[in-house]
Chain A
Amino acid sequence: MDFPQFLQQLINGLSLGAIYALIAIGYTMVYGIIGMINFAHGEIYMIGAYIGLITITAIGTMFGCPAWLLIVSALAMAILVTCCYGWAVERFAYRPLRGSPRLVPLISAIGMSIFLQNYIAVLQTTRDLSVPELITGHLFSFTMDGFNVSMSNSRALILIVTIALMATVTIYIRSTRMGRACRACSQDIRMAGLLGIDVNKVISFTFIVGAFLAAVGGVLIGLSINKINPFIGFVAGIKAFTAAVIGGIGSIPGAMLGGALLGLIETFASAFLPTEYKDIVAFSLLILILLIRPSGLLGRPEVEKV
């Protein structure tokens, strides 16, 4: 692979990885605090994409609107509604099960995931829906050694928004009262409860932050790929979880790193292999990481306590 091609794959890989990272943070925060895989998280991302498209269609058909306003309102609406879904999923499917054997919330989570996927499929048809191309043009595009290297504006937007959100989340967790409560809960949830932290509030907050980021990811991927269906959340969810595991589950910088790495690995792999195999590469990577370094790149090894 020559340099310009490498550069192009780097750009593609990073923007794909940014989306994985956005979803992965939701997985990793929930896992860090209540030690559970929230299978429904991929569907939350998909719901975000649908709300974005619904908002764009609703506003776009009613009034003529500049594209940036459509995008901003789609993002705002998607975040608002998806956060409600994130909260509601925890409140109804997980909270009543707290303290039951480990298998019970996991089954509830997978049930929720199946439910949400088919809920959208029944309500909004199972067909591929096309998202209008609101972001056109390229941030830059040049020819190097006869190979065109370009970065479309939609990919650039994904990268910028993701980096901004990551920075915000990191600062928020590090320096606010709620962030401190989150960190305390992830260290020892029972002790945090004894010290007067409202554990239920922290858990709800975690799900809302996860849904927030996933919604942004969903809207942006819709605007960039221009096609959504009710099943996009399933594969994206497994891959984002893979990203979280690569980075070390429970660690927020780990999720960001894992997302970027997975995006890059997948893009470079599909440059060499037929594209159908890129999912296989991602899932095999998950098994490989668990085999070699189950605590991930930035995670701490888990100590089991009685």
Chain B
Amino acid sequence: MRGETGMHVVVKDAVIAALVTALLTIPLIGLRLNVESTGLVLRTEMFWPLTAILVVFFGRLILPFIRRPTLPVKIPTEKIIPKIAEYRKVWLGALLVFAVTLPFTPPGGSMLTGLTMAMIYMLLALGLNIVVGYAGLLDLGHAAFYAIGAYTYALLNQYYGLSFWQALPLAGIAAGFFGIVLGFPVLRLRGDYLAIVTLGFGEIVRLLLNNWDSLTGGPDGITNISKPTLFGWEITRRARGEGETLWQFLGVDFVNTYQLIALYFIGLLLVVVAVIVIDRLSKMPVGRAWEALREDEIACRSLGLSPTMIKLTAFSLGSMFAGFAGAFYAAYLGSVTPDSFAFIESAIILSIVVLGGMGSQRGVLLAALTLTLLPEFARDFAEYRMLIFGLVMVLMMIWRPQGLWPASRRRVELPTS
């Protein structure tokens, strides 16, 4: 029991809670609008609302009796140095071997498209992780930079015939450049403005791509984008022009799966490079500055760091990786449409970062893999996917803001005598 509350207070409390639940659930969950030939029709489905009301009512009644006084917070006793660090190289090597052999195993082979999409989301999430995880800036328009990367490659390929590997750095530069242009006015201000501005920017980019018919092809997008080459060999059925395909070189007959495997390897390569580059960056002064800025901006400024410049590097680098992901996506799919870059994509990438753990590369990689492959296994999941993602973001923030697999903080400890 908390304090000297009498029974009538508890009952009153429970009645109010039940009433609020009734108002929350009856009109929206209990009454469903539907369009039928006769016009709008209301269906009533009172099972869930009534269950919710009863649960809340009785829950509130017993709550005071089962609630224990809050105990003092236990401070976890930390291990001095994580054991895993010693075997880190072995672990990473094993993981890489696994990733390389995966497409040749039966379960991996059947999920090649899913796995390659997972690589794209990994790239996107690694980029967003720099902005949200390391620098602590909320970017809700990551899909815009993804779109810029994709369209940069698509347009350069269509109008100038640039190959994937020629356009890839340009796509990254274009996305990074837009990141600087957008970030410069906003990053001088308080962090929250960035969230809403990037949200607006995401919409601007999508609307422009959708309406600028003469350049981007409007809602139909751009099709027939060249596939990337692998070490100079083409991976399509027939080589365009003079070139030789990888399959002719290897002396095997072309099967569609081979092309998927080749694309998977290009994706894997990009992810591995991104992981290494971002890992190095985060250990460099600029990476330390991102984290310092996230923790305390005023302290940073008084130590002589320029918050705007540091935020700008994080934001533009994060956008650059989204640009790479976009270029690969365009090459992988062979076509781009504005619909692929709606706000929902930004939301998915953000939930990957939040779920995996902000600032934790391994967590982000695992979350990207899980959330991309999950719909492959649970088909019913698709309808409720965004509903669950939204809920997961809220619940993670309440219960585990550091993510499912948080980064272990780098630290140096003095030897204890």
Contact = CB atoms under 8 A, between A and B. Distances in A.
Contacts of B191: 102-103
Interface string B38-81: 00111000000000000000000000000000000000000000
**Contact residues on A (Cβ < 8 Å of other chain), bracket:** 35 or more
Interface of A is mostly: helix
Interface stretch (A160-168, A254-262, A280-288): A280-288
Contact of A97 (B384, B389, B397): B397
A139 to B, nearest CB: 27
B396 to A, nearest CB: 8
Interface in B387-417: 387, 389-394, 397-398, 401
A77 B27 contact: yes
A299 interface: no
Nearest to A128: B35
Given A51-B28, A100-B397, 18 more contacts: A35-B192, A57-B41, A81-B27, A84-B24, A102-B191, A103-B191, A110-B393, A111-B389, A111-B394, A115-B394, A117-B386, A123-B32, A124-B32, A274-B211, A279-B204, A280-B208, A287-B200, A287-B201
B136 A101 contact: yes
B29 interface: yes
Contact of A286 (B20, B192, B200, B298): B200
Interface stretch (A6-14, A191-199, A235-243): A235-243
A47 interface: yes
A234 B343 contact: yes
23 contacts: A54-B31, A80-B23, A97-B397, A101-B294, A102-B136, A106-B138, A108-B393, A110-B347, A111-B390, A111-B393, A114-B386, A114-B389, A117-B386, A124-B32, A129-B40, A238-B199, A277-B207, A280-B208, A286-B200, A287-B197, A287-B200, A304-B298, A306-B298
A287 B202 CA distance: 12
B310 to A, nearest CB: 16
A235 to B, nearest CB: 7
A113 interface: yes
A20 interface: no
Contacts of B190: 302
A291 B354 contact: no
Interface of A: 35-37, 39, 47, 50-51, 53-55, 57-58, 61, 77, 80-81, 84-85, 87-88, 92-93, 96-97, 100-108, 110-125, 127, 129-130, 132, 234-235, 238, 241-242, 245, 274, 276-277, 279-280, 282-284, 286-287, 290-291, 294, 302, 304, 306
Nearest to A285: B200
B228 to A, nearest CB: 33
Given A61-B42, A110-B140, A276-B211, A115 B196 contact: no
A280 B178 CA distance: 16
B397 A105 contact: yes
Interface in B9-34: 20, 23-24, 27-29, 31-34
Given A127-B35, A234-B343, A107 B354 contact: yes
Interface of B: 20, 23-24, 27-29, 31-35, 40-42, 132, 136-138, 140, 182, 185-186, 188-193, 195-197, 199-201, 203-204, 207-208, 210-211, 294, 298, 343, 347, 350-351, 354, 358, 383-384, 386-387, 389-394, 397-398, 401
Given A54-B33, A241-B196, A104 B397 contact: yes
Contacts of B393: 107-108, 110-112, 114-115
Contacts of A286: 196-197, 200
Contacts of A37: 192, 195-196
Contact of A57 (B33, B208, B401): B33
A124 B207 contact: no
Contact of A284 (B23, B29, B132, B204): B204
Contact of A125 (B23, B33, B199, B387): B33
Contact of B201 (A50, A110, A121, A283): A283
A49 B310 CA distance: 43
B203 A283 contact: yes
A202 B189 CA distance: 27
A51 B200 contact: no
A112 B386 CA distance: 11
B18 to A, nearest CB: 12
Contacts of A53: 33, 40
Nearest to B192: A37
A60 B210 CA distance: 40
